[in-house]
Amino acid sequence: MSRQLDKTYNPKEIEPKLYEKWCENKYFHAEADRSRKPFTTVMPPPNITGKLHMGHALDNTLQDILIRYKRMQGYNALWIPGTDHAAISTEVKVTNQLKDEGIDKRELGREGFLKRTWEWKEEYAGTIESQLKKLGVSCDWDRERFTMDEGCSKAVEEVFLRLYEKGYIYKGSRIINWCPVCQTSLSDAEVEHEEQAGHFWHIRYPIVGTDRSLVIATTRPETMLGDTAIVVNPEDERYTDIIGKKAMLPLVNKEIPIIADAYVDKEFGTGAMKVTPAHDPNDFEIGKRHGLEEIHIMNDDATINENGGKYAGMDRYEAREAIVQDLEDQGYLVKVEEYTHSVGVHERCHHTVEPLIKQQWFVRMEELAKPAVKALETGELKLIPERMNKIYLQWLNNIRDWCISRQIWWGHRIPAYYCDECGEMVVQKGGAPYVCPKCGCNHFTQDEDTLDTWFSSALWPFSTLGWPEQTEDLDYFYPTDVLVTGYDIIFFWVIRMVFSGFEQTGKCPFHTVFFHGLIRDDQGRKMSKSLGNGIDPLEIIDQYGADALRLTVVTGNAPGNDMRFYKERVEANRNFANKVWNASRFILMNMEDKVISRPDAEDLTAADKWILSKVNRLAKDVTENMDKFELGIAVQKVYDFIWDEFCDWYIELAKYRIYHADDNYKAANAALWTLKTVLADALKLLHPYMPFVTEEIYSVLVPAEESLMMSSWPEYDEALDYPREENIVEHIKDIVRGVRNARAEMNVPNARKAKVYIVCENETLCEGFETLKESVNPLMNASELIIQKTNDGISEDAVSIVVPDGAVYMPLEDLIDFEQERERLLKEEERLKKELARVNGMLNNEKFMSKAPETKIAEEQAKLEKYTQMMEQVQERLASIRK
């Protein structure tokens, strides 16, 4: 073998070279091939608003592990990469970039702004691609997609038109989530809820024509300007006599009706609540049921509008303060309670959202949700871990119509056109109509709004394969197989892909969703810019290599569970890569210039069969774990096998035969063949996790093969189970460990060799031990290994070690130079006498005992106890030697 591994593993040099080779040879590329079974997954497209972070590193590493595993199993594996246009986030980024240049986006106009945004996309999409390549992802870059490319845009228009024609998409006025900072509507899924300290203001609403009042508690007193009713439960006996009466709205001095509705919880608060239909989603529904007026009191920027009277023009929080003060001055404020409650904030800018009634585009969800529910209930769709089922169903069973329009410029523009002459609306693909179907005019203006980002990414599993065209790729690769994603976007994306897949293709877009957790810092905190605890995966790769990072993010990883990131683990995994490298280098150096052939069965020792049996069962266990998506468990088994069984035991057991090849060629050949065979299988099992170091070693170990990533996955073979030999070697390991521990406890120098007697009555074990004598002796520093069935010939003073199914003895005279040990112990005895005299002198000194701190006295008493124990042990050993 001419080529050898370098002395040290250098990821910086090897990783880019290997990735370039993989890409050049199109190993990641897949074409429809009816002779093979496909395995397809789509990459959750990272946003074009930034760079790779640890969440991307985890998500894409898990996907890469699965795709490499399936590729090696012989599947026609396709992993489709891409990026998302991230409408609101990108618009904010580009707007801020323009501000830094002193440019207002409105000065540029829509077209100018979009030109700048496409420039942003080209820069950052390319950055993300190069960063993913550094991680080693084996996706099909020839098929890279973007949610606003021509094909995806065509799919978006097609879906919009189909849903509109079926009545699932409509335009109407409903309560929506409004971000006053980003000036756009949001879907429920884009609103995060966070606990905030606030107040409950208890306000007195006088009942007209009586001397009674109703006390209403609210966390948003400014919304009372838009109150149109007071509502109570129809079965609440406290209020049955006032239903139908009027209440006076404080500050506004307007009479509003008292109505009854079962929505009200009699046990919560006073059992009465105010109704503000234009500013609360639940109040909106109550208002519709009772025909209440909808009074808007807020502008788009969250200032109070003209309906707010004297408070018009004030910011919402400024108005709140003024209203509370006026309520107190006029005697309407009963009390104020501190209250921590869940407040909706925009998940992008983190400002508090306002529920407002606006005319928007919506998707009617009730019917669309049904197939998505049924798929989970019938098992057509499987969520891992299973606990995600409850969250999935809870959201679908309580789903509201989806607000899909956004008041921004970047994104897919809604394909609705309005006649400039008569206002007639036409929804169609391919641009504006030539003529108005109502008045014949040929001038149209397109709807200003764009679609929610998730509208396009909901089509990702099939739009990336050519839909709506019935392409060969769509027919062959769709439905996809597994989706890997974080549990934090189950609502945003997963559910929408499921109902979109059923509606547009009649099929569930994937059969399994593998949810992973989040990567947190070493204190368990979520990584964020504000905390300054984010870790740049590219810096980790630069310092330790991609393999070390990949192994770190997956080790200990369980589906759906968060994990903490410790830099020490990356260092340990870099050390593991070095261990694999050095062990492989040792094997390759000893194989150099030798013709290694498959040995005859009788030439394989118990150690050879033991390690072959171990790696055979490892392949079975790892395959089962990976099929269950227990990727962290699988790689831990591979790690333990390579480090403990292969490197620490088998290589050491094989050395004697390798070093004595001139005396017995067949024995050396059997050892080297076994080393090569087991190393090849171990590299294959490790490859999905650590692709670079395994590929580099394999290319030297098996130069005839094109690439490790294109090689076959190890399969379990029952014929390679060797329980007899496994039992023999496991006993040998116990013996070696016992001897080593005994020598360490007795401080026997490594250079001092001793006879080792193994007393065992089990014929099979004895035969096995005999075949391994020469290999095992160096591991125990044994001068000779004697295997017998009785204690005959073993001196009484021999050190004994109990092991399963037998005992091990070492003559004491072989372990110890009695005269030298006696002199050492006498010196130690003299030193301990002096220490004991000193300690006793201090503890018997009244002056010391009365003035010394308690901690100092305790310290000396502890020394007395320690030296006394040591003296007893030394004197016991001296007595033994004298005997």
CA distances from 172 to 176, 296, 438 (A): 11, 16, 21
- In 3D space, the residue among 634, 796, 792, 803 whose CA is nearest the CA of residue 732 turns out to be 803
Are the C-beta atoms of 56 and 537 separated by less than 8 Å?
A: yes
Whole-number Å distance between alpha carbons of 544 and 573: 9
Residue 100's SS3 state is helix
**529 is an annotated ligand-binding site residue:** yes
Q: Tell me the pairing of strands 38-42 and 76-80.
A: parallel
* Spatial CB neighbours of 9, under 8 Å, sequence gap ≥ 6: 577, 578, 581, 693, 696
Kind plus residue range of the DSSP H or E element containing 127: helix 105-135
Whole-number Å distance between alpha carbons of 671 and 651: 9
DSSP codes joined into one string, 70-84: HHHTT-EEEEE-EEB
- In 3D space, the residue among 226, 239, 213 whose CA is nearest the CA of residue 332 turns out to be 213
Whole-number Å distance between alpha carbons of 706 and 397: 52
Specify the residue for token string 């329009």.
405
Specify the residue for token string 């985890």.
58
Tell me, rounded to whole angstroms, the distance of Cα 580 from its chain centroid: 26
Whole-number Å distance between alpha carbons of 719 and 613: 9
Are the C-beta atoms of 406 and 88 separated by less than 8 Å?
A: yes
Whole-number Å distance between alpha carbons of 266 and 188: 27
Residue 281 sits at the vertex; the CA angle it makes with 278 and 282, to the nearest 5 degrees, is: 110
Whole-number Å distance between alpha carbons of 38 and 279: 51
CA distances from 278 to 224, 273, 284, 287, 299 (A): 11, 15, 6, 9, 12
CA distances from 228 to 243, 254, 311, 465, 602 (A): 15, 9, 18, 52, 94
Specify the residue for token string 């074409």.
31
Q: Other C-beta atoms within 10 Å of 559: how many?
A: 21
Whole-number Å distance between alpha carbons of 723 and 614: 10
Are the C-beta atoms of 83 and 128 separated by less than 8 Å?
A: yes
Whole-number Å distance between alpha carbons of 776 and 655: 10
Whole-number Å distance between alpha carbons of 334 and 325: 12
Count Cβ atoms within 10 A of the Cβ of residue 650 and give its class: 0-12 exposed, 13-18 middle, 19 or more buried: buried
Peptide linkage before 468 cis (omega within 30 of 0): yes
DSSP codes joined into one string, 244-283: T-EEEETTTTEEEEEEE-TTS-TTSTTSEEEE-TTS-HHH
- In 3D space, the residue among 583, 618, 648 whose CA is nearest the CA of residue 720 turns out to be 618
Are the C-beta atoms of 654 and 675 separated by less than 8 Å?
A: yes
Whole-number Å distance between alpha carbons of 269 and 266: 8
Whole-number Å distance between alpha carbons of 30 and 369: 33
- In 3D space, the residue among 130, 166, 128 whose CA is nearest the CA of residue 23 turns out to be 130
Peptide linkage before 385 cis (omega within 30 of 0): yes
Whole-number Å distance between alpha carbons of 25 and 3: 22
| Known binding residues | 529
Binding residues for ATP: 529
